[in-house]
Structure 1
Amino acid sequence: MPKTARYDTLSNLLILLFLLTAYRIFMLTQAASSIDLYADEAYYWGWAQHFDFGYYSKPPMVAWLIMLATSICGDGFVCIKIASPIVYIFTTLNIYFLAKELFDEKVAFYSAVAFITLPAVWLSSLIISTDVPFLFFWSLGMLFFVKALKSDSWRDWLVTALAGGGGLLSKYTMIIFVVSAFAYLVTSKTHRHHLKNPKLYVTMGLAALIYLPNLYWNYTHEFVSFKHTEDNAHLEGELFHPGRMFEFLGAQFGVFGPILFGWLLALLPRYKTLKQNESYTLLWWFVLPFFALILTISLLSRAHANWSAPMYVASTLLVVSWLVLHGRKRWLAAAIGINVLLGVVFYHYHDITETLQIELTRKTDPYKRVRGWKELGREVEAILKEHPEAKLLSDDRKTMAELIYYIHPHPFDAVKWNPKHTLLDHYELTTSLQKQLGEEFVYVTDREEISDVKKAFEEVEKIKTIVIPLYKDYKMVYHVYYLKHFKGYSPAGTSK
């Protein structure tokens, strides 16, 4: 009998990745006219205006990625974001080759398809965030860690070190990679001997060396990035929030996909069964520590859905390999189909609601946080042109980031109102109103009561209130003031 043509090949995966990435880039071009940058994207773009080994709240990799993309094609909406769908091609290929190392080509193909169609990846492909380079380096690290365990070649260990250092320069939680790796080695009869392997420790040292410039930057900047990471955990006050933990778990059904996450929850407790297969054991250890950490944080405080992103790599391989090797392909097909449907619906949400004549509200529009900023920028830009001697002043990080991007020319000399002299964002780290006595400002705020601001200036003139209707139940409202001759912060001043 003639052989049936295989479709689960690397060449077909490459075609799929090309078509899907082209579709996502096309959707970015379409979105450019209807939505704006997320505040964090505008924030990171501001960082990318100058090269550094660290920035306020994150390691530098996301800013470097934006810097590379915008140096090639400019500072437009698409160019700022375009690295995301492109980098996901390479992350997916890392996952393909990792699955091939652990299982076979069939599992590799389905694992790659499942990963690139995760709801989280559909969303993340349209957003430039720290997760984009982080997932690339995490998957690259896993791939060459597995290769190094098998080959013990310096090449594979060195690439693992590069991935580890790159991961730390992307997101500090890369350190959990080390926890997973050691937990696996301790429990693995096959590879436990690597605990005495000098190459393992040289790899760790080289990864730390690659990360060292960011550590030095933090040393010279009061360790602000680490403090911010600690603040994000919110481990203070009442430390028991089961409702938030279940909310986090519920969100994982959305970001990982309802079927895939359901199977993951079913597989994780089956360690005794999984440990009979060395590949399953490795994947289990690269899921559990991170999942347990974020689940604990969600119970003690709160955790955003995307904080579990690194476990998506091993989770995808664990669930997909189990379904393929145990003859559950229908479950896998349904899982991928549902995830693709969720992704397409999200991409075309406004088209669908418009076709169905559904009027969106603040609660029903997932794009609500990326609307209205362009209009606000145009309004403030016109005011600044009428007051060329004044600098932009704001009291909110997100507002300031959006305005700096959407006002032309970009007001990079903008200053943050910070009467308490806190150190809670990049602008409070890099700007100081106290050094600009006697100067004039155009102050943009959503506060109605600004008595503390009035005390700090000789003259305060309200220019206008900007109202941008977005939905029938919500409108963006900002007040704009012309402030003359800054006298210094009042001792009794309060921040927003």
Structure 2
Amino acid sequence: MQSNTQSNIQQVSMWQWLLIIVSCVFAYRLVITINTPISLFYDEAYYLSWAQNLDWGYYSKPPMVAWLIATTTHIFGMAEWAVKLSAPVLYAATAILCFAINKQLFNAKAGFWAGLTFMLMPLVSLNSLFVTTDAPQLFFWAAAFYAFIQAQHSNKWFYWGLAGLLGGLGLLSKYTFILLPVTFLIYALISQSGRQILTNPRFWIACLIAITLLIPNLVWNFHHDFISFQHTSEISKHAQNSASLARMLEFLALQLLVFGPVALVILTVCGVKSITQQSQQTTDSIKLLWCLFLPTLAVISLQALTARANMNWAAAAYVGASLLAGYYFSHMWQNKIIYQRALVILAMVANLVLMGAFYHFNAFTQLIGVERNQHNDPYKRILKWPQLVGEFDPIFKQRPQAKLASDSRKLLAYFGYYLSNQDFQGAHIDGTDHIGHHYELKYPINQQTETEYYFVTQNWHEQDLLTYFSTVELVKQASVDVYPEFKRTVRLYRVSGYKQE
């Protein structure tokens, strides 16, 4: 009785400590976003334009990111922090889910370290300042997995149905969510418990529920020539790249910055040790978590070998990695061996340092005596855009009826948001027949009825525009210095008389 009471107290204590830490880190990230401020990355402004017209699909992504932005901006307004808000909220919620999963599979201590590892992961620290598809994908990945282990344990219809529902919402967040079922297929190859899952009809009904939720998006894609899947294929660039071992090794090396250098090394060593020593502690739960982690990482690594892969493309794998790290870290801490505890602390401190260095990059570079420039500043792509757009704002205010147009998705996104007269349906023309983004899909200039436009561009000049318009007048050119050796320049033309092709 006393032992059970003590265990319950420890579980409550672990939960309370994690909740306090997650709340503090969430508040810290929100303060950074509001007070710095972190201006919108152009993808965020681009997704914001999607959010003005809710649909079941968009040019390059499923609809969840637009739905989330629409929700937060409807409640809190159009401020930058409100556009971004769902990201830190969902990452904090995912950390809590990591606790719940490991508490169910192991104990509260393993849950505490899993939640802490996820919350301090460098990828999460970076992405908490920017709303992307990773936030809902990781949340629903963890949520669906939690519902799955509850369903596996109880075999209740409620949990199987919940797993299917959450899986469907995950598919509506990011198409790579389809890799989650690979977890269970691989698990079935190495575990009797896994084979029992695949013979359970309720598991397949859960999968059917998930696919059913994706059907409206598939219908949307059908009506738009499956444009989302065309885009996914194009960004992979299979036809343009030969196999490259160096590219794959570079991708794998960058995973040290995604998960944390010390944490990933410890996880790798623990994994190799459990395989080579055939440890009796390698239970079905641990096998399941390795299946949650490795297949997704392997698939994206193969993508990096054969074509290209951004360092965050395997993000979903790190839910499983955090759960595994939580299990191993709890054992290392419980062993009370000084060097093992020191390694766990070092892993957390290393990720804290990376978070602080990114969030306070200016102060950090000053501290170490490094001058910021276009080659070392991670904020380079978002700097000075509000100021640059502000140079043109008085002109648009004088002629509020003038329609925004451009040859650039980036400029349409930034001008659409940062102009006082916000225009999220800017007309696009770039002189090609290829549909390369949402504006080109939904608002091509050859389908507009306006007779006059304010055309913003970084690349086109008067002679380029005269190919498409009868009248072209340069209204203003403005530049902002981002660094001493780097500036942004935009030209604004008044154009009219579009020449229909």
Verify the 8 A CA contact 1:95 1:313 in the aligned structure 2: yes
Verify the 8 A CA contact 1:437 1:486 in the aligned structure 2: no
Code of the residue aligned with 2:222 in structure 1: it is: Y
SS at 1:360's partner residue? coil
Structure 1 residues 277, 217: closer, same or farther in 2, change over 3 A?
same
Q: Any idea what the Cα deviations from partners look like across 1:133-162, whole Å, max 9, x if unmatched?
A: 110100011112112111111121111111
Show the counterpart of 2:27. 22
Verify the 8 A CA contact 2:400 2:421 in the aligned structure 1: no
Q: 1:439 aligns with which of 451, 456, 478?
A: 451
Give the 5 Å matches for 1:336-347. Answer: 336-347=348-359
Show the counterpart of 2:395. 383
- Could you tell me how far apart the structure 1 residues matched to 2:405 and 2:70 are? 25
SS at 1:59's partner residue? coil
- Could you tell me how far apart the structure 2 residues matched to 1:15 and 1:388 are? 48
Verify the 8 A CA contact 2:413 2:424 in the aligned structure 1: no
Show the counterpart of 1:211. 214
SS at 2:473's partner residue? strand
Q: Any idea what the Cα deviations from partners look like across 1:300-356, whole Å, max 9, x if unmatched?
A: 121111111111111112233123325433221110111011111211112333566
Show the counterpart of 2:141. 138
Deviates more, 1:268-277 or 1:98-107: 268-277
- Could you tell me how far apart the structure 1 residues matched to 2:79 and 2:123 are? 24
Show the counterpart of 1:467. 479
- Could you tell me how far apart the structure 2 residues matched to 1:436 and 1:144 are? 47
| 1:423 and 2:435 matched | yes
- Report % sequence identity: 34
Aligned residues: 487
- Could you tell me how far apart the structure 2 residues matched to 1:346 and 1:175 are? 31
SS at 1:365's partner residue? coil
Verify the 8 A CA contact 1:390 1:442 in the aligned structure 2: yes
Q: Any idea what the Cα deviations from partners look like across 1:91-129, whole Å, max 9, x if unmatched?
A: 111110111121111111111111101111111111111
| 1:104 and 2:110 matched | no
Verify the 8 A CA contact 1:389 1:440 in the aligned structure 2: no
Give the 5 Å matches for 1:270-281. Answer: 271=275, 273=278, 276-281=282-287
- Could you tell me how far apart the structure 2 residues matched to 1:373 and 1:443 are? 17
SS at 2:375's partner residue? coil
- Could you tell me how far apart the structure 1 residues matched to 2:14 and 2:424 are? 49
Show the counterpart of 2:409. 397
- Could you tell me how far apart the structure 2 residues matched to 1:196 and 1:414 are? 52
Verify the 8 A CA contact 1:438 1:486 in the aligned structure 2: no
Q: 2:234 aligns with which of 231, 236, 239?
A: 231
Verify the 8 A CA contact 1:438 1:487 in the aligned structure 2: no
Give the 5 Å matches for 1:325-340. Answer: 325-326=331-332, 327=335, 328-340=340-352
Code of the residue aligned with 1:198 in structure 2: it is: P
Q: 1:455 aligns with which of 467, 474, 486?
A: 467
Show the counterpart of 1:259. 262
Q: 1:160 aligns with which of 163, 178, 189?
A: 163
Deviates more, 1:476-485 or 1:275-284: 275-284
Verify the 8 A CA contact 2:62 2:172 in the aligned structure 1: yes
- Could you tell me how far apart the structure 1 residues matched to 2:384 and 2:175 are? 33
Report the CA distance between 1:8 and its aligned residue: 5.3
SS at 1:286's partner residue? helix
Show the counterpart of 1:240. 243
SS at 2:431's partner residue? coil
Show the counterpart of 2:179. 176
* Structure 2 gaps, min length 5: none
TM-score by length of 1: 0.93
* Structure 1 gaps, min length 5: 490-496
Verify the 8 A CA contact 1:36 1:374 in the aligned structure 2: yes
Structure 1 residues 115, 412: closer, same or farther in 2, change over 3 A?
closer
Code of the residue aligned with 1:208 in structure 2: it is: I
- Could you tell me how far apart the structure 2 residues matched to 1:271 and 1:399 are? 52
Show the counterpart of 1:493. none
Q: 1:10 aligns with which of 12, 15, 20?
A: 15
Give the 5 Å matches for 1:286-297. Answer: 286-297=292-303
- Could you tell me how far apart the structure 1 residues matched to 2:118 and 2:237 are? 31
Report the CA distance between 1:268 and its aligned residue: 4.7
Report the CA distance between 1:358 and its aligned residue: 4.6
Code of the residue aligned with 1:451 in structure 2: it is: Q
- Could you tell me how far apart the structure 2 residues matched to 1:262 and 1:29 are? 34
**RMSD of equivalent CA atoms:** 2.2
Report the CA distance between 1:388 and its aligned residue: 4.3
- Could you tell me how far apart the structure 1 residues matched to 2:481 and 2:72 are? 33
Verify the 8 A CA contact 1:149 1:191 in the aligned structure 2: no
Report the CA distance between 1:267 and its aligned residue: 4.4
| 1:299 and 2:305 matched | yes
Q: Any idea what the Cα deviations from partners look like across 1:443-488, whole Å, max 9, x if unmatched?
A: 1111154533212211212223211101012000112222121122
